[in-house]
Structure 1
Amino acid sequence: MALRPMQSATYTLFRNAILREQQVVCRYDGRLRELCPHIIGANKSGEEVVLAWQFAGESSGPLPQWRCLKLANVSNAHMRKGRWHEGRSHRTTQTCVNEIDLDINVHVRKRR
């Protein structure tokens, strides 16, 4: 994958959370989010993004739900131990991450 040579600290944190199957708590769009990141990489514009299952925290809509986060807009992120949330079944192909660096189901769990 051809991401920027230097990944952001937030990217590294989310990537490590996927590898360790740990939750991430952060602020995004001014709201506290409690997430389990599943796929990380870049979008069509080359921005660092993550597809995550938001299971708790604040939201403008009902929870839980899938979220596509631009990592440049994430603040105060930290990992924590807790139950891993996988989310509902994927009925459509995800369009959040165009250039996949890491997918928990393919690279970590070796399953599709």
Structure 2
Amino acid sequence: MTLEAIKQAIQQKLIIQFTYSGRIRIVEPHVLGITKGNTQILGYQVDGESSSGGLPEWRRFDLEKMSDFFVTKELFPGRRPFPSGLHSSWDVELEIVPA
């Protein structure tokens, strides 16, 4: 997995799949950023498994904890409304899904 692959998935609105905490995650990647020194993806998890609640749902994922990452060929429609109406805070935004 490279930052460039993640950035391209965000720019092209392509769903990604990876393993996180031993569970397969299928995610629409919306923001790649850095917060408190951790590089993370904010994504809308649409399928797969989760130990912290139902799906679909917004989740943040630390890149260093992701494995078996790949970009699918499945498109997602673009930005989704956030429940608060605001983005999560970031120290640095590296990429954000286009409108």
Q: TM-score range by the shorter chain?
A: 0.7 to 0.9
TM-score by length of 1: 0.76
Is the 1:25–1:77 contact (alpha carbons within 8 Å) kept by the matching residues of 2? yes
Identity of aligned residues (%): 27
Post-superposition CA distance 1:40-61 (Å, at most 9, x none): 1101x22211100100001111
Identify the match of residue 43 of structure 2 among 43, 46, 52: 52
Alpha-carbon distance in structure 1 between the residues aligned to 2:80 and 2:20: 22
Identify the match of residue 88 of structure 2 among 95, 99, 110: 95
Unaligned runs of 5+ in 1: 1-8
Alpha-carbon distance in structure 1 between the residues aligned to 2:67 and 2:5: 11
2:68 maps to which residue?
A: 76
**Cα-Cα RMSD:** 1.9
Shift of residue 96 of structure 1? 5.5
Larger Rg: 1
Q: Which has the higher strand share?
A: 2
- The size of the alignment, in residue pairs, is 97
Unaligned runs of 5+ in 2: none
TM-score by length of 2: 0.85
- What is the DSSP-based 3-state SS (H/G/I as helix, E as strand, rest coil) of the residue aligned with 2:54? coil
Give the alignment of 1:1-112 within 5 angstroms.
Answer: 9-43=1-35, 45-60=36-51, 61-84=53-76, 86=78, 89-92=81-84, 93-95=86-88, 97-104=90-97, 108-109=98-99
